[in-house]
Amino acid sequence: MMAPAVVAWGAALGWFDVSQTPLAFMGYRWTPWVFSLLAVVELITDQLPSTPSRKVPMQFAARLIMGALTGATIGASGGSLIGGLIAGVVGAAVGTFGGAAARGKLAAAFGKDTPAALIEDAVAIIGALIIVGAV
């Protein structure tokens, strides 16, 4: 949920314009707050041992959908909604599997998951800000 939150903030703050696109709602005043709340909930639940793997079908599908929304929003601001959608889905898939692999290796190196999870969260936040800031 970090990517849609940051993209919604970018749209709402006028970093890029989606007002004349089908994804104009991403720039509405309340949208970044809703996605930010969902991102915070995800950051918290991600730390819980009972949280299912991001690679199970339901979790993975949600990531692909959010990646599509995020990419389509960025793409729409430049007139390439479909291209952005495809890039968002690819980015979500790469992020899902790459993040899981990196977190697993970090967790093994630390001997526990919490430090690895916090590093992964920091990378997600910083990466989202860099990508959206470059738009």
Give alpha helix (H) positions in 13-80. Answer: 31-45, 57-77
pLDDT at 27: 96
Q: What is the pTM of this model?
A: 0.88
Residues whose CB falls within 8 Å of the CB of residue 2, separated by 6 or more in sequence, listed in order: 39, 42, 43, 121, 124, 125, 128
Amino acid at 15: W
For 50, phi then psi, to 5°, come to -85, -5
pLDDT at 69: 97
**Residue ranges of domains in the chain:** 2-133
What is the rounded CA–CA span in Å between residue 127 and residue 10? 14
Spans of the chain below 70 pLDDT: none
pLDDT at 49: 82
